[in-house]
């Protein structure tokens, strides 16, 4: 088994390798002056089980996607026995259906590209929509970051009836219910309507939140507008303190300023996407690593063991 990484999130790849008591494989991933990506594998991979760690994430979403595809192609042409694309954050996942006339289903296109490049299977985390697994014609192992977050809250003894799990919309109720079951907590949901591609409006909250600690759970935080609006609303409804647990911290401007000035006490995110220095300096943001979870899944895939016990 060998693990390789592109330029998207080398720190996460290093942590995964360390968890597996190995090192990252040697690989050059560079750009020519004209912007074309060049990849060179620096060691033998013939007959090996290869894992390529590369989230399709900001700030260079399209470059990182091309790096992933070209790395997979390089591995295939170097006679790797099996290639697993480890995509902790699956970019373009929010373009998963035709919700308007004459628009693409880009999440499906990306799945086709990864398969055509030569990947034999995919390991990913907290897809924006579960049906994206069906966009692939190769096996997909879909992990959830929830166990990492839940362990954090259990250690803080945030369980039982004093806690309410908040779903930010009706689509997240199933996930929030799983959280509530694991923490023996109450459940509530927010009535949120999307106005444009970047703007949402919070209308109401369904469930009793008064005099409880609230945990808002979601897969992606981008501009943090709807998240901060939700925190304000539930605070007005009598919540004592507000936490948010979001798997993928896209966090584009003006997210940091909004979070700093919001009712959120602590925003917990994972390291599927690397945070810039400005984000790391935000006093309300805390990063939890999913490297151990991904490493365990990689070990089980390599050994032909069950991965399903890692799912929530």
Q: 196 preceded by cis ω (within 30°)?
A: no
CA–CA dist 102, 213 (Å, integer):
44
Mapping DSSP to helix (H, G, I), strand (E, B) and coil, where does residue 117 land?
helix
Q: Which of 181, 192, 266, 278 is catalytic?
A: 192
Q: Which of 293, 261, 256 is nearest to 276 (CA)?
A: 256
Sign of CA dihedral 49, 55, 56, 59: negative
Q: Which two tokens stand for residue 259?
A: 């979070």
Cα of 264 vs its chain's centroid, Å: 21
What value does the CA radius of gyration of the chain take, rounded to a whole number of Å? 20
Q: Which of 175, 200, 197, 129 is nearest to 189 (CA)?
A: 175
Contacts of 140-144 with CB under 8 Å at 24 or more apart are: 141/297, 141/301, 141/307, 142/311, 143/290, 143/293, 143/294, 143/297, 143/307, 143/310, 143/311, 144/175, 144/247, 144/311, 144/312
266 is annotated as an active-site residue? no
210 close to 241: Cβ distance less than 8 angstroms: no
CA–CA dist 52, 122 (Å, integer):
10
Q: Which two tokens stand for residue 137?
A: 């014609």
**Terminal CA-to-CA distance of the chain, rounded, Å?**
27
Q: Which residues are catalytic?
A: 192
């Amino acid at each position: 088994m060998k693990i390789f990484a592109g330029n998207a999130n080398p720190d996460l790849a290093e942590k995964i390798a360390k968890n597996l008591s190995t090192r990252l494989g040697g690989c050059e991933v560079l750009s020519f002056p004209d912007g074309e990506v060049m990849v060179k594998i620096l060691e033998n991979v013939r007959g090996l089980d290869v894992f390529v760690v590369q989230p399709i994430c900001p700030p260079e979403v399209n470059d990182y996607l091309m790096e992933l595809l070209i790395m997979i192609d390089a591995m295939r042409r170097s006679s790797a026995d099996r290639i697993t694309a480890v995509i902790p954050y699956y970019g373009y996942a929010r373009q998963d259906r035709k919700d308007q006339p004459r628009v693409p289903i880009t999440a499906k296109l990306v799945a086709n590209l990864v398969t055509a490049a030569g990947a034999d299977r995919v390991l990913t985390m907290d897809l924006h929509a579960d049906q994206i697994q069906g966009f692939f014609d190769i096996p997909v192992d879909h992990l959830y970051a929830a166990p990492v977050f839940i362990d954090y809250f259990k250690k803080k003894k945030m369980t039982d009836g004093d806690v309410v799990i908040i779903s930010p919309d009706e689509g997240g109720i199933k996930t929030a219910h799983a959280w509530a079951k694991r923490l023996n907590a109450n459940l509530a949901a927010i009535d949120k309507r999307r106005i444009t591609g970047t703007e949402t409006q919070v209308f109401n909250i369904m469930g009793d939140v008064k005099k409880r600690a609230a945990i808002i759970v979601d897969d992606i935080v981008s501009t943090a507008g709807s998240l901060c609006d939700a925190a304000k609303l539930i605070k007005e409804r009598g919540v004592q303190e507000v936490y948010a647990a979001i798997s993928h911290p896209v966090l584009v401007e003006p997210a940091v300023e909004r979070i700093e000035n919001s009712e959120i006490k602590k925003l917990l995110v994972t390291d599927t996407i690397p945070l810039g220095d400005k984000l790391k300096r935000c006093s309300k943001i805390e990063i939890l690593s999913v490297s151990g979870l991904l490493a365990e899944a990689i070990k089980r895939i390599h050994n032909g063991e069950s991965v399903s016990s890692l799912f929530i």
